[in-house]
Amino acid sequence: MEDNGVPVEGSAPHGDLKEPWGAGRGAIIWVSAALFVLFTLITLLNSAYHHTRRHRAEARYAEGVKLAGTGRNQDAAEDFRAALVYEHDDLKYRFALAKALVSMGRWDEAGTHLLELQQVDPTNGPINQMLARLAVRAGRYGEAIDDYNRAIYGYWPEDAEAKRIAARLELIGVLDKEGRQKQVLAELLALAGEVPDNDLAMRRKVGEMLLSHHSPQHAAETYRGILATHPRDGASERGLGEAEFELGDFRAARNAFRAAARRGPPDPALSQRIALTDDILDLDPTLVPLSVSQRYQRAVQLLRRALASASACTVVPEELSDAAQKILSTRPRRMWEDDTATALTLTLQLWNLRQSACVQRPAADLALAAVMTRIAKQ
Amino acid sequence: MNPFQHGKRFTLSEGQRFLLLAILIGMFSGLMVVAFHIMIDLISWNSLGALSGTLRYGRLISPALGALVATYLATRVFPAARGSGVNQTKAALYISDGFVDPSTVPGKFLACSIAIGSGNSLGPEDPSLQMGAGVASMLGRIFHLGRKNMRLIAPVGAAAGIAAAFNTPITGVLFVMEEVVASWNAGVVGSIVLAAVSSVVVVRWFLGDEPLFRIPALQFQHPSELLVYAAIGVVGGLLSAGFIRLIEVLHNRLKGLPHRTQLIQALCGGLLCGFVGLWLPEVMGAGYDAIDFALHGRFPWDLLLILAGAKLLVTLICFSTGVPGGMFAPTLFVGAMLGGGLAGLAHHYSSLVTSPLGAYVLVGMGTFFSGVFRAPMTSIFMVFETSASYVIILPVMIANTISYFISRRLHPVPFFTMLARQEGIDLPSAEEYRSTEVLRVEDAMQPLPEGMTLEQAPPIYPDVTLDAALRLLADHALLCVVSRANPQVPIGVVSILDVRRAYGFPESGPILPETPEASSQGQGGRSGQ
């Protein structure tokens, strides 16, 4: 039975082959021979074709690299595209095109190429890093963080250690921008563990970042680590000084600053830091060992400065001002301890008043502020 | 029993032999398509450069020269190679008992590789399909196939050819089933699948298993995007109907010109293509590289729309002036650029577009194809197969179906049917066949006359076709329609008069052969052909 002129189920293809493997044996031999010859010819043709394709693609790629090197990214991109037309699946060409497009500011087009590359090679460090940068640019921070992590733990064709560190630094920047301070600290600590001993600049940078991210303890450890391998490194001495300063160990900070000053050329900023630590150490009544009278003297000194600082920017309540003036104008009695405590209590009140009333902290108050912070902690 | 036993002849059943022949056809077709692909690339690299852009003046001259040489070959040296591959395959199936002129294969190979390689805006798929059919026909004759199997062999080769050209086996099978054979015929599905798979294996062996397009990661972001996809379908449908109409008019006009102007027409077509290519080299040749770059967001939306329009124009001219080559690749190009361009435009004015432009390029690719060729299943699976992305299937289905229905509504005659009619051949239209209702006894039966019993007329079930009833009515005046659930219960009667009424034939007089117009009006009766 036929339907629409086409033989239907049950009627075809049956019964009409006239002994194709019997009387047609000659035909089979001829067809097989033809297939073999055709296969051989096309194998040769295909081999020449692929050779030509590769050759042309490489030539255009090399031209593109040359142009990209001279900053002619638009022309370079055309060459990379041409290379891709010849060899569609070459990751090298596609990545080069993506890089050129990024340089030209064609983010979306670069993104599609990079996403395709990522599909093919998901653990490729450079691809993930570039995708992360595009995501950052588009404000997709979550995606960027994932891509940076893939870049850090992925493989890098060359100079892997330095590239991973660079990727982690970029990730830290993104996390910082996102306000994820705990993750920043975790990444910084991981970074501190990754940086090789001989990369002094990077180790210093890690120390600085730890300091700027309020982790003086880890910063101090990092600087001490540097100084263990590079004992004459003035910058690390100074960094250690800053870390100790933040930790409130002003004596250690002064020692480190002085060591730094000895190892480098005269530096006014460093001299200021030394002067500040000297001032703090002269002012701090909580330092040990101090005699009772020394402690009293420092408490009075502290009170005087707090009163001056508060009066400079706000109106000090009369009773507070009178109480302070009374201590400052009275000769000390025998009961040093009580007088010291009274002076410190008044100082604290004045300082709190100053803190709430005055926005800016004058440079002259730095030592006072450091000491008051330390006292408040105790 | 061991078929290899000593003294026993190793034999295969007819069905098995046919399947083995399908594999052979697939291998030959695959090899032909590999050579065709290489030839087009080599010509293109040397005439246009890799991006159709490096040799500026080559771009102006090359398509014109290519069109001239290719048309000369197709009209003077290999005249059998002219025309649409799909229609030639259908002609082999329905008219010439599977015969495809052997000169078709070298003719299509040479003419189309020169035409396409030199930059004319045509595609290699239809020629590949025709070469596959030609190779199959040759093999069928070498193996002395009988009439029935010979008729089937051309679609088997066609499937192998188109599957190899797209590097997509499912698409190859679907297209031939949908457009050429027009029915899911179990007798040929196995052979077509085997041929398509074996040809794709050969192609991948030589050219690698990379898909036609390298699709970037895509995702369907928000259901509101479906509105944009539907709009792409609407525009694709309108444009495809208009495109078929334009081809119909222009092709007809140019065919009416004196025969001696054929080469001049082709030369002009090539020149126009080269002229447009001076500014928009992306429209030259098949255009797959440009689609690939569009998928990767290379072009801004306004340029995408310009490219769609320019490609439409140069394809219309190249095809109508008779330059040999296919239409599949250009339709994919136009659809892709249209999809991306419309999405970019929508993004410009609304917030509906949230996916990357590449997603719209991909979806758009199938809409124009679906509208022009009226093969919605093929277009859906082609996008699915080339993208390997399941996420995209829903938008593709929506856009392609809308485009299909709009195009069908505005221009009822499908593209290939229109071409066949212009050539003066009346081939059954796959689309018309699909929409033809098969009439059954229940459509013609009348209420059971009072007092009538089962014994008075032979019984027939209500779901039997009217064709079958007609044969029984040659010997009986009346048939008693009985229930399928209980054949002892009569439910109606049917007479020759009822059958005539159901078919819309006059109540007396001879029944004339059906005209294509009558067929397209939804009447049954094709099975009698």
Contacts of B11 in chain A (CB under 8 A): 21
Q: State yes or no: pLDDT of A149 exceeds 80.
A: yes
Tell me the backbone φ, ψ of residue B428, rounded to 5 degrees: -65, 130
Question: A1 versus B13: which is more confidently predicted?
Answer: B13
pLDDT band for B430, please (50, 70, 90 cuts).
low
Looking at residue B326, its pLDDT comes to 93
| HEC readout, B82-133 | CCCHHHHHHHHHHCCCCCCCCCHHHHHHHHHHHHHHCCCCCECHHHHHHHHH
Lowest mean pLDDT among A95-109, B70-84, B117-131, B173-187: B173-187
B215 to chain A: closest CA residue? A116
- Can you read off the two tokens belonging to residue B129? 């399909």
Q: Can you tell me the mean pLDDT for A226-235?
A: 90
Question: A85 versus A9: which is more confidently predicted?
Answer: A85
Neighbours of B245 (CB within 10 A): 14
Q: State yes or no: pLDDT of A135 exceeds 90.
A: yes
Domain boundaries, chain B: 14-207, 225-430, 436-528
pLDDT band for A364, please (50, 70, 90 cuts).
low
- Can you read off the two tokens belonging to residue B293? 């770059």
Of A12, A31, A116, the CB nearest to B142: A31
Looking at residue A132, its pLDDT comes to 95
Pairwise CA distance, residues A112 & B100, whole Å: 45
Q: Can you tell me the mean pLDDT for B110-127?
A: 95
Q: Can you tell me the mean pLDDT for A207-225?
A: 92
Tell me the backbone φ, ψ of residue B36, rounded to 5 degrees: -65, -45
Q: Can you tell me the mean pLDDT for B50-77?
A: 82
Looking at residue A361, its pLDDT comes to 63
What are A103-128's pLDDT values in tens digits? 999 998 899 899 889 988 999 999 99
Question: Do the chains contact at A49 and B38, CB–CB below 8 Å?
Answer: yes
Query: Ramachandran region of residue B322, left (φ > 0), alpha (ψ -120 to 50) or beta?
Result: left
Looking at residue B194, its pLDDT comes to 93
Query: Ramachandran region of residue B525, left (φ > 0), alpha (ψ -120 to 50) or beta?
Result: left
Question: Do the chains contact at A7 and B191, CB–CB below 8 Å?
Answer: no
Question: Do the chains contact at A81 and B12, CB–CB below 8 Å?
Answer: no
Tell me the backbone φ, ψ of residue B463, rounded to 5 degrees: -95, 5
Instruction: Decide: B270 and B325 in contact? Cβ < 8 Å.
Output: no
Q: State yes or no: pLDDT of B112 exceeds 90.
A: yes
Q: Report chain B's mean pLDDT, rounded to a whole number.
A: 85
pLDDT band for B10, please (50, 70, 90 cuts).
low
Q: State yes or no: pLDDT of B220 exceeds 60.
A: yes
Query: Ramachandran region of residue A124, left (φ > 0), alpha (ψ -120 to 50) or beta?
Result: beta
What is B225-430's CATH superfamily?
Clc chloride channel (1.10.3080.10)
For chain B positions 168-187, those within 8 Å of chain A (CB to CB) are: 181-183, 185-187
Can you name the residues that pair with B446 across neighbouring β-strands? Answer: B493
ipTM: 0.79
Instruction: Decide: A174 and A144 in contact? Cβ < 8 Å.
Output: yes
Continuous segment of H or E residues that includes residue A313: helix A292-313
Q: Can you tell me the mean pLDDT for B392-403?
A: 92
CATH class of B14-207: mainly alpha
Pairwise CA distance, residues A53 & B42, whole Å: 9
Tell me the backbone φ, ψ of residue B155, rounded to 5 degrees: -60, -30
Contacts of B185 in chain A (CB under 8 A): 6-9, 12
Q: Can you tell me the mean pLDDT for B414-426?
A: 85
Looking at residue B8, its pLDDT comes to 52
Min Cα separation A147/chain B (Å): 15
Q: State yes or no: pLDDT of A4 exceeds 60.
A: no
Q: Which residue, B68, B47, B27, B33, is CA-closest to B318? A: B68
Q: What is the DSSP pairing of strand B459-460 with strand A6-7?
A: unpaired
Looking at residue A256, its pLDDT comes to 93
The CATH code of domain B436-528 reads 3.10.580.10
B356–chain A Cβ distance below 8 A for any pair: yes
Q: Which residue, A159, A202, A210, is CA-closest to A184? A: A210
- Residue whose pair of structure tokens reads 């019984």 in the numeric block: B459
Question: B182 versus B245: which is more confidently predicted?
Answer: B245
Looking at residue B515, its pLDDT comes to 47
Q: State yes or no: pLDDT of B510 exceeds 70.
A: no
Pairwise CA distance, residues B138 & B145, whole Å: 10
Looking at residue A232, its pLDDT comes to 87
Looking at residue B398, its pLDDT comes to 94
Helices B393-410 and B357-373 pack at an angle, to 10 degrees, of 40
Min Cα separation A63/chain B (Å): 13
Q: State yes or no: pLDDT of A67 exceeds 60.
A: yes
Question: Do the chains contact at A111 and B428, CB–CB below 8 Å?
Answer: no
Q: Report in angstroms the alpha-carbon separations of B399 from B236, B332, B365, B413, B435.
A: 8, 14, 10, 21, 21
Pairwise CA distance, residues A129 & A140, whole Å: 14
Contacts of A116 in chain B (CB under 8 A): 214-217, 296
Looking at residue B284, its pLDDT comes to 93
Looking at residue A369, its pLDDT comes to 86
A186–chain B Cβ distance below 8 A for any pair: no
Burial class of A368 by CB neighbour count within 10 A (0 to 12, 13 to 18, 19+): buried
Mutation for testing the A interface, residue in B23, B37, B143 having most A CBs under 10 Å: B143
A14–chain B Cβ distance below 8 A for any pair: yes
Tell me the backbone φ, ψ of residue A6, rounded to 5 degrees: -100, 130
Question: B243 versus B256: which is more confidently predicted?
Answer: B243
Q: Report in angstroms the alpha-carbon separations of B370 from A152, A226, A234, B327, B339.
A: 46, 70, 75, 12, 13
Can you name the residues that pair with B326 across neighbouring β-strands? Answer: B123
Looking at residue A155, its pLDDT comes to 94
Min Cα separation B144/chain A (Å): 6
Q: Can you tell me the mean pLDDT for B197-222?
A: 83
Question: Do the chains contact at B54 and A115, CB–CB below 8 Å?
Answer: no
Looking at residue B4, its pLDDT comes to 43
Helices (H) and strands (E) in chain A, counts: 17, 2
Min Cα separation B209/chain A (Å): 10
Q: State yes or no: pLDDT of A15 exceeds 60.
A: no
- Can you read off the two tokens belonging to residue A46? 């295909």
Instruction: Decide: A125 and A151 in contact? Cβ < 8 Å.
Output: yes
In this structure, the dihedral spanned by the alpha carbons of residues B2, B5, B8 and B10, taken in order and rounded to 10 degrees, is 60
Contacts of A49 in chain B (CB under 8 A): 38, 41-42
Of B42, B206, B217, the CB nearest to A119: B217
Neighbours of B200 (CB within 10 A): 26
Pairwise CA distance, residues B429 & B53, whole Å: 40
B257–chain A Cβ distance below 8 A for any pair: no
Mutation for testing the B interface, residue in A1, A49, A80 having most B CBs under 10 Å: A49
- Can you read off the two tokens belonging to residue B244? 């078929």
Residues in chain B: 529
- Which amino acid is present at B217? A
Looking at residue A1, its pLDDT comes to 36
Contacts of B186 in chain A (CB under 8 A): 8-9
- Which amino acid is present at B520? S
Cis, bond preceding A13 (omega within 30 deg of 0)? yes
A44–chain B Cβ distance below 8 A for any pair: no
Lowest mean pLDDT among A123-132, A208-217, B30-39, B454-463: B454-463
Question: A30 versus B214: which is more confidently predicted?
Answer: A30
Mutation for testing the B interface, residue in A35, A38, A56, A85 having most B CBs under 10 Å: A85
- Residue whose pair of structure tokens reads 């030209």 in the numeric block: A104
DSSP 8-state symbol, A155: B
Pairwise CA distance, residues B128 & B136, whole Å: 12
Q: Do B14-207 and B225-430 have matching folds? A: yes
B468 to chain A: closest CA residue? A1
Pairwise CA distance, residues B190 & B389, whole Å: 26
Q: Report chain A's mean pLDDT, rounded to a whole number.
A: 86
What domains lie within chain A, and their CATH numbers?
Answer: 195-283 (1.25.40.10), 286-378 (no CATH)
pLDDT band for B130, please (50, 70, 90 cuts).
very high
- Which amino acid is present at A305? R
Pairwise CA distance, residues B456 & B471, whole Å: 18
Mutation for testing the A interface, residue in B153, B298, B429, B465 having most A CBs under 10 Å: B298
Lowest mean pLDDT among A172-176, B20-24, B49-53: B49-53
Looking at residue A13, its pLDDT comes to 45
Cα of B512 vs its chain's centroid, Å:
31
Q: Can you tell me the mean pLDDT for A218-224?
A: 93
Question: B355 versus B416: which is more confidently predicted?
Answer: B416
Helix ranges (DSSP H) in B208-327 = 225-255, 262-279, 288-295, 301-320
pLDDT band for B1, please (50, 70, 90 cuts).
very low
Lowest mean pLDDT among A166-180, B311-325, B333-347, B491-505: B491-505
For chain A positions 48-77, those within 8 Å of chain B (CB to CB) are: 49, 52-53, 56, 60
Read off the pTM.
0.76
